[in-house]
């Protein structure tokens, strides 16, 4: 891809980068009468059945530049109309729904997702990540829509409290209805304004946006034709405990393992090449061999000791109850849990004040559970962690977004694929591996399922970041593949991946990732394991079958 100039005077036009563009807009038809039809009378009539939506204003932005207050100038923006709605949400909340109508439209609709625990994410903050934002969609000729759902734009969940109490009505709207109500209203406005039926509808979301995508397939199969979830947050209740586990261990263990030793442990894991489609951890067949070699392994802070390993194993195993029960998956030694370049991510990150970084929306989630907006993780013991988990699991049982029954979506011809890098440092990619198997149980065969649902695991790919450990599927590659699947019935066997160094302003790595299938597992493991490791795997599978 070569030099592009992202940090060399082209920041205003960042969304023109090839990795964010998947459609040639030169053939898009201009709708000159949009200027007549995009008016209050027609829009209000279109929303007649959407009693919770109220038209606020309509604005036209010509070709050229665009700027929002407090955000940088965007250049090379196609002409579009912006229809602003207010959504009346039960519990005296008011959300914002914005619908973008490009003058040169490709007859397609794109639902724009949020991130974390918010239905909207700030497009300005997501430069250099693979989240699809409205400027990208408009530039590619899509009419699109985004909703705040009264949850704001930032990755936190303090909005879940109202007058020091949990706001259940807003929480339910965020979890189950906000994306759907936005989609229904947007489609009505789009078809009325253009006086044309929408040809196909798409949605791409990462992280919390991936959760929105999966919920659409699970509960609202009529909304979209093509769905792409990247690193989705599901098994939500358990995952929030996983997000807080590393800092909890830090607060509760007297022995503090230097970050340099975690980096050395990762180095050894990569040298041993024990990884597969899922990240290397204590489930892997060569785990015991790894621990043996890890003892005494050199690092910048001295050799790794047995006490280091004890604490590191606790962190890698993920959230664990007092009786030894694993709540969900952790992040093994292969996963980078510390800042990379300017990225201040990772559950092992220590802030300048010497305290571990705590992901905001996970902390707020636990505050929801204990009904205390001031609760602090630093005061939490293993015993309290255990008690909180057990006491509230049933109360929040419906908030897992792990429903595997997408058969209604598939029966109407919908296409869904999930991409989940094995280096994901927010959501363990084993969750997607398990989800794949759960979805398979809803179909007659894996082959039948793969006609509408596929999964890709980019090796070492991070959480929607082009410049993390490994390459990820770009916006362009993913959307091209999804549209070809939906509109031409060309199922993706491979997806192009890319790693980009924004500081050097160049492509670091380009490769392909193949679709994951369980039916050829013997062939796959034969490529990635020794005979001894393969035999050990077979024994573990037999043992699991006997116990089940």
DSSP state, residue 105? E
For residues 92-111, average pLDDT: 96
Please give the Cα distance from 88 to 96 (Å, whole number). 9
Average pLDDT estimate for 320-336: 93
pLDDT in tens, 34-50: 999 999 999 999 999 99
In this prediction, residue 538 carries a pLDDT of 59
CA-to-CA separations, 417 to 64, 282, 293, 371, 406, in angstroms, rounded = 35, 28, 38, 36, 12
Let me know: does 181 contact 380? Beta carbons within 8 Å. Answer: no
Least Cα distance to 265 among 334, 337, 346, 350 occurs for 334
Reply yes or no on whether the pLDDT at 531 is more than 90: no
Task: Give the C-alpha separation, 99 to 3, whole Å.
Answer: 34
Nearest to 81 by CA among 126, 27, 38, 30: 38
Per-residue pLDDT of 235-288, as tens digits, reads 999 999 999 999 999 999 999 999 999 999 999 998 887 655 677 888 888 899
pLDDT reading at 5 higher than 70: no
Mean local confidence (pLDDT), 190-212: 97
- Please indicate whether residue 342 or residue 382 has the higher confidence score (pLDDT): 382
CA 537 to chain centre: 30
Rounded Cα distance between 432 and 453, Å, is 12
List, in sequence order, every beta strand (DSSP E) within 178-283: 200-206, 226-230
Confidence of residue 12 (pLDDT cuts 50, 70, 90): low
pLDDT tens-digit series, residues 424-477: 999 999 999 999 999 999 999 999 999 999 999 999 999 989 988 899 999 999
Would you say 20 and 138 are in contact if contact means Cβ atoms under 8 Å apart?
no
The residue among 89 and 505 whose pLDDT is bigger is: 89
Say which range, 7-21, 33-47, 199-213, 303-317, has the weakest mean pLDDT: 7-21
Q: Read off φ and ψ for residue 144, nearest 5 degrees.
A: -145, 170
Strand 108-112 versus strand 104-105 pairing type: unpaired
Maximum average pLDDT range among 163-167, 365-369, 414-418, 423-427: 414-418
pTM of this structure: 0.92
Nearest Cα residue to 452 out of 440, 461, 469, 434: 440
- Distance (Å, whole) CA 193 – CA 211: 30
Give the pLDDT confidence score for residue 524 in this predicted structure. 46
Q: What is the pLDDT of residue 26?
A: 77
Closest-CA residue to 486 (of 202, 238, 106): 202
The pLDDT score that the predictor gives to residue 506 is 84
In whole angstroms, what is the distance from residue 23 CA to residue 335 CA? 34
Q: What is the pLDDT of residue 279?
A: 76
Provide the pLDDT for residue 376.
94
Confidence check: pLDDT of 490 > 60: yes
Confidence at 2, pLDDT banded by 50, 70, 90? very low
pLDDT of residue 119: 94
Strand partners, 61: 80
Between 506 and 475, the higher pLDDT residue: 475
Q: Does the pLDDT value for residue 525 go beyond 80?
A: no
| Angle at CA of residue 14, ends 8 and 15, nearest 5° | 160
The span from the CA of 338 to the CA of 259, in Å, is 8
Please state the length of the chain: 548
The closest alpha carbon to 30, from 82, 106, 86, belongs to: 106
Cβ atoms within 10 Å, residue 100: 23
For residue 3, the model assigns a pLDDT of: 46
Hey, is 223 helix, strand or coil?
A: coil
Grade residue 542 by pLDDT with cuts at 50, 70 and 90. low
DSSP for 505-525, written as a single string? TEEEEEEEEEBP-STTHHHHH
Q: Report whether pLDDT(398) > 80.
A: yes
Q: Average pLDDT over the chain, rounded to whole? A: 89
Domain 11-234+401-514 in this protein, CATH class: alpha beta
Report the first-to-last Cα separation within the chain, whole angstroms.
Answer: 50
The pLDDT of residue 528 is above 80: no
Question: Using 50, 70 and 90 to split pLDDT, how confident is the model at 543?
Answer: low
Percent of the chain with pLDDT over 70: 91
Per-residue pLDDT band at 322 (split at 50, 70, 90): very high
Residue 410 has pLDDT above 90, yes or no: yes
Give phi and psi for 308, each to the nearest 5. -60, -50
Kindly indicate the confidence band of residue 9, based on its pLDDT and cuts at 50, 70 and 90: very low
Give me the pLDDT at residue 523, please.
Answer: 47
Instruction: Look at 17-21, 62-66, 482-486, 529-533 and tell me which has the smallest mean pLDDT.
Output: 529-533
- The average pLDDT across 301-305 equals 97
**When comparing pLDDT for 393 and 3, which is higher?**
393
- In this prediction, residues 52-60 reach a mean pLDDT of 97
Q: Residues 161-199: pLDDT tens digits? A: 888 888 999 999 999 999 999 999 999 999 999 999 999
Cα–Cα nearest to 514, from 419, 429, 446, 436? 419
The residues spanned by each domain of the chain are 11-234+401-514, 238-398
- Residue 541 reports pLDDT greater than 90: no
């Amino acid at each position: 891809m070569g030099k592009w100039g992202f940090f060399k005077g082209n920041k205003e036009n960042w969304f023109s980068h090839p990795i964010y563009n998947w459609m040639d807009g030169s053939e898009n038809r201009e709708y000159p009468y949009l200027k007549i039809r995009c008016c209050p009378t027609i829009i209000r009539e279109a929303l007649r059945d959407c009693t919770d939506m109220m038209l606020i204003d309509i604005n036209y932005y010509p070709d050229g530049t665009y700027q929002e207050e407090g955000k940088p100038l965007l250049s090379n923006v196609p002409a579009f109309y912006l229809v602003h709605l207010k959504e009346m949400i039960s519990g005296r909340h008011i959300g914002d729904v914005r619908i973008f109508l490009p003058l040169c439209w490709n007859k397609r609709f794109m639902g724009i997702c949020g991130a974390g625990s918010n239905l909207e994410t700030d497009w300005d903050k997501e430069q250099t990540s693979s989240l699809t934002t409205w400027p990208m969609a408009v530039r590619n000729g899509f009419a699109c829509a985004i909703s705040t759902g009264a949850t704001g734009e930032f990755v936190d969940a303090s909005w879940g409290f109202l007058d020091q109490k949990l706001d259940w009505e807003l929480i339910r709207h965020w979890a189950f209805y906000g994306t759907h109500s936005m989609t229904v209203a947007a489609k009505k406005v789009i078809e009325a304004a253009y006086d044309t039926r929408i040809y196909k509808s798409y949605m791409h979301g990462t992280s919390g946006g991936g959760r929105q995508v999966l919920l659409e397939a699970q509960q609202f199969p009529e909304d979209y034709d093509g769905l792409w979830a990247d690193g989705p947050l599901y098994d939500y209740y358990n995952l929030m405990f996983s997000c807080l586990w590393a800092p909890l261990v830090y607060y509760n263990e007297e022995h503090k393992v230097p970050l340099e030793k975690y980096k050395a442990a990762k180095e050894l894991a990569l040298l041993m090449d024990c990884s597969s489609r899922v990240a290397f951890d204590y489930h892997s067949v060569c785990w015991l061999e790894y621990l043996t070699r890890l003892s005494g392994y050199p690092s910048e802070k001295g050799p790794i000791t047995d006490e280091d390993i004890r604490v590191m194993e606790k962190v890698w195993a993920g959230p664990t109850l007092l009786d030894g029960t694993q709540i969900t998956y952790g992040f093994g030694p292969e996963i980078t849990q510390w800042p990379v370049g300017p990225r201040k991510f990772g559950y092992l990150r220590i802030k300048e004040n010497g305290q571990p970084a705590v992901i905001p929306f996970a902390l707020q989630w636990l505050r929801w559970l204990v009904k205390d907006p001031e609760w602090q993780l630093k005061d939490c013991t293993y015993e309290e962690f255990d008690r909180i988990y057990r006491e509230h699991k049933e109360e929040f049982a419906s908030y897992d977004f792990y429903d595997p029954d997408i058969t209604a979506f598939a029966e109407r011809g919908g296409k869904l694929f999930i991409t989940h890098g094995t280096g994901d440092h927010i959501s363990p990619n084993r969750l997607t591996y398990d989800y794949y198997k759960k979805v398979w149980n809803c179909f007659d065969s894996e082959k039948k399922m793969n006609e509408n649902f596929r999964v890709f695991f980019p090796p070492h790919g991070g959480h929607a970041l082009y410049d993390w450990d490994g390459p990820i599927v770009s916006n362009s590659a993913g959307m091209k593949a999804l549209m070809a699947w939906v509109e031409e019935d060309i199922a993706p066997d491979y997806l192009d991946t890319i790693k980009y160094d924004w500081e050097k302003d160049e492509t670091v790595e380009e490769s392909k990732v193949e679709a994951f299938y369980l039916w050829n597992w013997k062939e796959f493991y034969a490529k990635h394991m020794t005979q001894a490791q393969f035999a050990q795997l077979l024994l573990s599978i037999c043992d699991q079958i006997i116990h089940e």
